[in-house]
A and B are shown apart, each in its own frame.
Chain A
Amino acid sequence: MTEPNNGNGPEVPAEGGLAAELAHMTEAELIEHEAEVAEVVAPDREIAVEVGETLLDIDNLTMRFGGLTALDSVSFGIRRGEILGLIGPNGAGKTTCFNAMTGVYRPTSGQVLLEGKPLGKLAKHNITRRGIARTFQNIRLFGEMTALENVVVGTDARHKTSVMGALVRSPRHFREEKEAIERAMALLDFVGIVDRAADKAKNLPYGYQRRLEIARALATEPKLLCLDEPAAGFNPIEKEDLMGLIRKIRDDGYTVLLIEHDMKLVMGVTDRIVVLEFGKKIADGAPSEIRENPSVIAAYLGVPDDDIA
């Protein structure tokens, strides 16, 4: 997927222009700030990194569209606190798998269990409330809302003010609104785009939009965060930053499922990788094992370069 790039990511120092330079400056400051945040988080790291029991279990998942079998009896688990990479050549069924997990598609057979409970026929918004959040391969922000509002929509999934409460502006309404804004600002800070909180999402640079999607997904307080090609359209420096962010997210106690084409990124950041080809799982293991796995090598060498889908 090549994305329409509506502006240079501020991570890239653009040629000339005071604005670009300023953007760069702020970013530099933010990176420094992020380092401070990371330090604060660091003490938890040992515990957080330790991979725990199974969080999400994909059990014999099959997905057919007419005559096409997009997923064929795929099974794998995601353990609490790990970063799991889901890779495969184009059309291998990665995004289909994502969509079946988040309730966009109903699996033809098999099931998805979150913390041992099947997601079954839950409505999509309830799956989010149960604790799975995602970003999108092709960015899908609420363009007319500000960056801050986009994230606050995510936090609303956890709020309880009633319609009446909101109408009469009850104390709870004010408390929740205040909390939502504080949390959203913290998340924008966390992903490093707090300087543009008041801008409409559609006016943000491309790299910011990708990060905003991550912040919005985190706002729903997910147990599992699914990132669908978060590095699409990024340059190497931006990818480097993104790897840092993904680690930071995990260190904060989230579990991450990552679909990505960029091998360097996947190998660099994940704890474990599941490889799909033609809707089937062909490998499952640590990055070092996957790199050596003959069937994975065959799958990847057998198709043309798919860096740009």
Chain B
Amino acid sequence: MDDPAGPRPDPHVENELSIHHSSALYLAQDDSVINFDVAGLVDQFWANTVDGLSQGSIYALVALGYTLVYGVLKLINFAHSEVFIYGAYATWFTFYGLGFRPGPTPELAVFELIGFLLLALLAAVLVSGATAVVLERVAYRPLRNRGAPRLVFLITAIGASFVLQQLIFIWRGGNPEQAIRLLRPEPVFEVFGVAITNITIIIVLASILLFFIADTFVNRTRFGRGIRAVAQDPDTATLMGVNKERVIMLTFLIGGLLAGAAALFYMMKIPQGASYQGGFLLGLKAFTAAVLGGIGNLRGALLGGLLLGLMENYGQSLFGGEWRDVVAFVLLIVILMFRPTGILGESLGKARV
């Protein structure tokens, strides 16, 4: 660790954590473990909506990676959470390499800021994309060549996830990297009395833009057609001249690129987020989002991600901050009870990208 000493800013500036504190207060006052803070939910509704959308956009981008790989290989790529966190580290090191250090947010000119953020985006996208492709090459392709059963792929995915995590642990240790901020959250305008910050705007708009690029790529290009053809019938696709191995590589690459972009947005929102285990919960949530929307379906991933982000935040207001993750996973179970194929109703067996 070569972190230079410096005054560490309070990382807990995001409003979600202040909500957390207030609910802890409620807990201390009441004996009840859950409080139904309906007034709080109503009060915080718009704030939660805005925060939920930005959180949900990040889930959605990561969820696209799960859904694409699932669509093509029928594999839940559990190591995708590490593909994401590698992007977060790439972001952190880009900031560090550019001379920024943990401490007060520097004053930057707008064009400088945009340039630095684009540079970080490039680094994150490249690192995550490369991680995903190497992962496919090293972990999954040899299994495919030997015709391994599907369960073996799943176990390999979990194993690969641990390996990638531990590589970071060995290198950087167990503590999260100290927060480096380039951009202070500042309100730009107000909607329903809620200040929309510059960070929220960047995250939501950029995520939606990336989603549409991915969607167009899959639906309107020859590579996308190849991906969909392989997803539906790999053998026939091959006999129609589709190069299956290339399609698979491309699928991992696209998933990785999107996860890298998500990682930058995540680091803008939660600057202290680069930790070796940091991908785990987010990856699990993104996977949940993919299943929620209907795994194998790109639009389902977007819908599931946004919905999960929103519900988590509403649930947090209603039940208290420590119930946030519970709400997310209970939501999954409830929706799957009524729509086993996810909201957009793509059946797991016939999933298409």
Tell me the A108-154 residues at the B interface (CB within 8 Å).
123-125, 128-129, 133-134, 136, 140-145, 149, 152-154
Which chain A residues lie closer than 8 Å to B233 at the CB level?
A: 140, 142
Interface residues of B in 208-231 (CB under 8 A from A): 213, 217, 220-226, 228-229
Contact B229 A145 (CB under 8 A): yes
Say yes or no: is B181 at the interface (Cβ < 8 Å to chain A).
no
Chain B residues within 8 Å of A173, by CB: 221
B330-353 interface bits toward A, Cβ cutoff 8 Å, 1 = contact, 0 = none: 000000000000000000001010
- A173, B225: Cα distance in complex, Å: 13
Q: Is A216 an interface residue (CB 8 A)?
A: yes
CB distance from B262 to the nearest CB of A (A): 18
Nearest CB of A to B226, in Å:
7
Query: How does the 8 Å CB contact mask read for A202-233 relative to B, with 1 for contact and 0 for none?
Result: 00000000000000110010000000000000
Provide 27 A-B residue pairs closer than 8 Å at the C-beta atoms, listed in order of the A residue.
A125-B241, A125-B244, A128-B238, A129-B241, A141-B236, A142-B236, A144-B350, A144-B352, A145-B229, A145-B232, A149-B225, A153-B225, A153-B226, A153-B229, A156-B225, A156-B241, A158-B241, A161-B221, A163-B223, A163-B250, A166-B217, A166-B221, A173-B221, A177-B222, A180-B222, A216-B240, A220-B241
Query: Which of B222, B226, B241 has the most chain A CB atoms closer than 10 A to its own CB?
Result: B241
A123 to B352, CA, bound (A): 25
Name B163-215 residues within 8 Å CB distance of A.
213
Q: Which residue of B lies closest to A162 (CB)?
A: B223
Q: Which residue of A lies closest to B214 (CB)?
A: A167
Contact A153 B250 (CB under 8 A): no
Q: Taking the complex as formed, is B237 at the interface, i.e. its CB lies under 8 A from any CB of chain A?
A: yes
Is B242 at the interface (CB under 8 A from chain A)?
A: yes
On chain A, the residues within 8 Å of B240 by CB distance are: 125, 128, 133, 153-154, 157, 216-217, 220
Interface residue count for A (Cβ, 8 Å)? 36
The answer to whether the Cβ of B44 comes within 8 Å of any Cβ in the partner chain is: no
- CB neighbours (8 Å) of A123 from chain B are 238, 243
Within 8 Å CB of A141, what residues of B?
236
A159: chain B residues at CB < 8 Å are 222
Report the nearest A residue to B220, measured CB to CB.
A177
**In the complex, what distance in Å separates the CA atom of A11 from the CA atom of B213?**
42
* 9 A-B pairs closest in CB distance: A157-B241, A128-B241, A166-B221, A156-B222, A140-B236, A124-B238, A144-B352, A142-B232, A125-B243
Contact B222–A125 (Cβ < 8 Å) = no
Inter-subunit contact B228/A144 (CB<8 Å): yes
User: What distance in Å separates the Cβ of A46 from its nearest Cβ neighbour in chain B?
Assistant: 32
